Amino acid sequence: MPLHKESTCFCSSAAENYLIEKMNEIKIFSPATVANVACGFDVLGFCLDSVGDQMVVRKINKKGIYISKIKGFDLPYEAELNVAGVSALAMYEAIDVDFGFEIEIHKNIKPGSGIGSSAASAVGSVFGMNELLGRPFNKTQLTQFAIKGEALASKCEHADNLAPALFGGFTLVKSISPLEILELPSPTDLYATIIHPQIEIKTSEARAILPKEVTLTSAIAQWANFGSLIHALHTSNYDLIQKSLHDVIVEPHRSKLIPHYNNVKTAALKAGALGTGISGSGPSVFSLSKGLGIAKNVKDAITEVYSKTGIDFDMHVSKINTDGVKIIE
C-alpha cells in the first residue's frame, strides 16, 4: 500500500501536522458500532456515541508493536494474537521508521457483544499510530489495515463495523476488493437504543444458520427496503426509514438465537421505535428512533421485557456519532 497523504481525509493544516508529529503519546476514544443494519446485511453500519473503548498509543524507542496494558477483559498481550496488535502490525509493515509503538487498551465493549468490540480495537490502534505519524494515511487505507485485525476475530475480512468507527455516521461498504467505502448522511434527530443480553452467540453459528439461497421474492423485497433506506437517510425522511427497516432474509433465521427477540421487537415498536433489528451477528439488538425522548421510552419498554427473563443485560441509548474515532484529553 503506497504511503501518501490525502488532503481531504482529516482536514489538517501543515501546522497541525507539525504539532502532531511532535507528539509522543495520544489518548483516543474508539466507538462501538452497529453493523448488518436490518436490510443492509454485511454492508451497512453506523457509529455509536455513548459506548466505546479508550486506548493510549505512544511512540517508543524500541522498534516494533507492543501491548503494555489491557483493562476490562482478559485479552492476549502478544501483538500477533490481539486484534489491535495485528492491525498495528499491518500498518507498521507499510512504514519505515526507527521507533515503535506501545498500546494500552481500556476495554469497555465486551467481546462478542455484537456492537463492534474487535472493530474498536482494530480501529483505535491504527488511528492512534496515524495521528502520531502526522496522518500519512487516509481513512480508507486505515480501514484496510484494520481489516487484518478484524479478520483475526471473525475469521474473514469485512469492514461493516470498521468503516463507521473510522468515518463516523452511517457507512456503506461498496466492495472489499478493492476496498470502497461510501459515507452516508445521518439524520440529526436519529437515536439508537441498544440491548446487550449477557449471552454468547458464536459468529460461526450465526453464519451457519443462514440460508444458502433466497427466493427471488425475498431478494426483491430486500433490495427495495435497502434502496429506500439509503434514500431516507439522504432526505432525513423518518417515515421512510420506518418503512424500510425490515430484514426479510437474515433476521427470520438469526432471531432464533436471541432469547425473547420477538418480545423485545414488539415492545420497542409499540414504544415508538422506527425499527428494530439484530446488531452484527447478535446477541445485541438495536432500535432506531426519532428523538431522544422516544429512544429512552424504547429503553424503558425493552428493560421491562428483559427484566422478567432472568438474563442479565446492558442497555445503551446513543445519538448517531458522526465523528467516529477521536482524540480525547
Q: Which residues are catalytic?
A: 150, 203
Amino acid at 94: A
Distance CA 106, CA 73 (A): 9
Instruction: Say whether 301 sits in a helix, a strand or coil.
Output: helix
Cis peptide before 283 (omega within 30 of 0): yes
State whether residue 327 is helix, strand or coil. strand
The span from the CA of 91 to the CA of 86, in Å, is 9
**Alpha-carbon span 59 to 103, nearest angstrom:** 9
**Length in residues, the chain:** 329
The single-letter DSSP state of residue 177 is T
Please report, for residues 65, 150, 260, 271, 303, the alpha-carbon distance to residue 309 in angstroms, rounded to integers and kept in the order given.
Answer: 44, 32, 8, 19, 10
Q: Which residues of 236-271 are buried (b: 16+ CB within 10 A; e: fewer)?
A: ebbebbbbbbbbbbbbeebbebbebbeebbebbbeb
Q: Are 51 and 29 in contact (CB under 8 A)?
A: no
**3-state DSSP call for residue 169?**
coil
Residue 277 phi/psi, 5-degree rounding, is -160, 180
* H/E element, 43: strand 40-60
